[in-house]
């Protein structure tokens, strides 16, 4: 298995990675404020490619919480572990949603211990230390988008696409050479999120589960995920070239109101889908 986890204390500009049928582009760049103060970014991006499948998690820590980068990293790693369990080929979506909700709620004990172990620097001003201790009680918070993509195989002839999300990060599904429709409902209100202390806040995770190649289609398409710091991408429907996408990331993260900007694009390419359920090569 290949697993890539982007560091939160560095700026990772656009890179590419190919694993079997999966071609990926990814980046995670801190806001100008975080770079200037040499602080970690709040975003966390990770993915893992196994034999015939890929899992991923993109988490956006809540900056007003207690060290949102901690929640993003903690939850992202655990979501990848949850997704790595193959389970039933086509489980009931409602039961799967219940299992994910229970999983997220059960993580609070471990996460609370991790938050409690964080040592606040004694060099910080006393007032700031007091504010951070108050935030510690409310926990570290994050939103997320995660998923698992299974290629067609004997017991899963149409493959499988599972996507889960909570909060205001963007998630789009597209055809070949397009960035498709946004399937996350984004509002101006404070987003649903996960808290290390309180579990799910405001809402429950949304899920979609569908065949990857219904009716034997071979032109599968792509999945695009990006944090709200890169919402400049909302208006683009055609995939940007590498330089244009990198320039947009720099623009988004460096503006006066700039936020951390992260993106993960997954292109799924199957040249042939055999009638016996195998993926052609």
Between 208 and 176, name the one with better pLDDT: 208
Per residue in 109-118, pLDDT tens?
999 999 999 9
Between 101 and 87, name the one with better pLDDT: 101
The rounded distance, in Å, linking the Cα atoms of 225 and 167 is 12
Give the distance from CA 137 to its chain's centroid: 26
Per-residue tokens: 64: 């007003």
Helix (H, G, I), strand (E, B) or coil at 237: coil
- The packing angle between helices 108-116 and 68-83, to 10°, is 150
The rounded distance, in Å, linking the Cα atoms of 139 and 150 is 34
Is residue 194 within 8 A of residue 141, CB to CB? The reply is yes
pLDDT at 281: 29
Helix (H, G, I), strand (E, B) or coil at 12: strand
pLDDT at 276: 37
Q: Vertex 127, ends 126 and 128: CA angle to 5°?
A: 90
Instruction: Residue 210: count other Cβ atoms within 10 Å of its Cβ.
Output: 14
Q: Of 114, 162, 122, which is closest to residue 140 (Cα–Cα)?
A: 114
Instruction: Residue 33: count other Cβ atoms within 10 Å of its Cβ.
Output: 16
Per residue in 118-146, pLDDT tens?
999 888 899 998 999 999 999 999 999 99
Of 3.60.40.10, 1.50.10.20, 3.30.70.2970, 3.30.450.20, the CATH number of 2-231+259-266 is 3.60.40.10
Helix (H, G, I), strand (E, B) or coil at 52: coil
Q: What is the DSSP string of 182-235?
A: E-S---SSPPPEEETTTEEESS--EEEEE-SSGGG-S--EEEEEE-GGGGGGGG
Instruction: Residue 35: count other Cβ atoms within 10 Å of its Cβ.
Output: 17
Is residue 57 within 8 A of residue 167, CB to CB? The reply is no
């Amino acid at each position: 298995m290949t697993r890539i986890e982007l560091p939160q204390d560095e700026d990772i500009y656009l890179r590419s990675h190919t694993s079997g049928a999966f071609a990926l582009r990814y980046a995670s760049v801190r806001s100008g404020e975080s770079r200037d103060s040499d602080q970690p970014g709040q975003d966390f991006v990770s993915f893992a490619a196994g034999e015939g499948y890929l899992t991923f998690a993109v988490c956006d820590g809540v900056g007003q919480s207690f060290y949102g980068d901690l929640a993003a990293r903690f939850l992202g790693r655990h979501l990848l572990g949850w997704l790595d369990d193959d389970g039933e080929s086509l489980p009931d979506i409602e039961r799967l949603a219940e299992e994910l909700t229970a999983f997220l709620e059960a993580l609070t004990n471990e996460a609370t211990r991790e938050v409690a172990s964080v040592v606040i620097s004694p060099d910080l001003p006393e007032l700031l230390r007091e504010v951070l201790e108050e935030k510690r009680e409310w926990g570290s918070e994050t939103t997320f988008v995660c998923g698992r993509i299974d290629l067609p195989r004997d017991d899963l002839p149409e493959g499988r696409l599972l996507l889960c999300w909570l909060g205001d990060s963007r998630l789009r599904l597209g055809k070949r050479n397009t960035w498709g429709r946004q399937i996350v409902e984004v509002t101006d209100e404070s987003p649903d999120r996960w808290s290390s202390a309180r579990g799910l806040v405001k809402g429950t995770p949304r899920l979609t589960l569908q065949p990857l190649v219904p009716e034997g289609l071979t032109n599968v398409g792509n999945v695009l995920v990006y944090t709200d710091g890169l919402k400049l991408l909302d208006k683009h429907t055609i995939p940007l070239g590498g330089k244009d996408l990198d320039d947009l990331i720099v623009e988004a993260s460096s503006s006066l109101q700039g936020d951390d900007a992260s993106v993960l694009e997954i292109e799924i390419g199957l040249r042939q889908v055999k009638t016996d359920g195998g993926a052609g090569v």
